[in-house]
Structure 1
Amino acid sequence: MQLIACPWCGPREETEFSFGGQAGVAYPEHPASLTDEQWAHFVFFRDNPKGPAAERWVHAAGCRRWFTAVRDTRTHRFLTTPELTS
């Protein structure tokens, strides 16, 4: 079992978390003006890097907060998770 460091709750088992997709995907500025093909590209097409990737995660079985983490897609290990600052 892999531990994931939740910024608010600390290290927890991976089963408490849900993957939320690629981080940093900007919502279209004028979504109503997109063609069906452009909208499908926004919704379904994502990068698939081999190595470190920024991803969104939610602590679904805990605090239910979202955060961005960097995970190595080759090893599935989390390289960074955000640290809370007071």
Structure 2
Amino acid sequence: MKLLTCPMNGPRNIDEFQSFGPVRARLDPDLTADADWSRHLFRAENRKGIVVEWWRHVPSNYFFLAERDLASNEIIRTFDASEQRDRA
């Protein structure tokens, strides 16, 4: 059983969670062409490295962030979204 540590609820079975994908930078205001907008929405980067993703603990509906290594699928750390906002 794989565990994921929820910042609010502690370690839980990963089946209790839902991933919402990577945190994206703010929207570029110059995305006016349909092709540019489509590329922004639907083209995922296929790269190795560390990514910060949105996750949700389904039973409590708590959203948080997780740093995950894309090559090994290891979750490095989980933290409240306010910590990311404080660093920006």
Bigger strand fraction: 2
- Equivalent residue for 1:35? 33
Which ranges in structure 2 are unaligned for 5 or more consecutive residues? Answer: 84-88
Bigger helix fraction: 2
Alignment partners' CA distance in 2, 1:28 and 1:11:
37
- Equivalent residue for 2:78? 81
Alignment partners' CA distance in 2, 1:27 and 1:20:
17
Is residue 52 from structure 1 mapped to residue 50 from structure 2 by the alignment? yes
Change over 3 Å in CA distance of 1:66–1:27 after alignment to 2: farther
Give TM-score scaled by structure 1 length.
0.77
Task: Quote the offset at 1:50 in angstroms.
Answer: 1.1
Give TM-score scaled by structure 2 length.
0.76
Secondary structure of the 1:40 match is helix
Preserved CA contact (<8 Å) 1:2 1:14: yes
After TM superposition, which residue ranges in structure 1, 4 or more long, deviate above 6 angstroms? none
Secondary structure of the 2:79 match is coil
Preserved CA contact (<8 Å) 1:7 1:81: yes
Q: How well do the aligned residues superpose, as a CA RMSD in angstroms?
A: 2.3
Which ranges in structure 1 are unaligned for 5 or more consecutive residues? Answer: none
Preserved CA contact (<8 Å) 1:20 1:56: yes
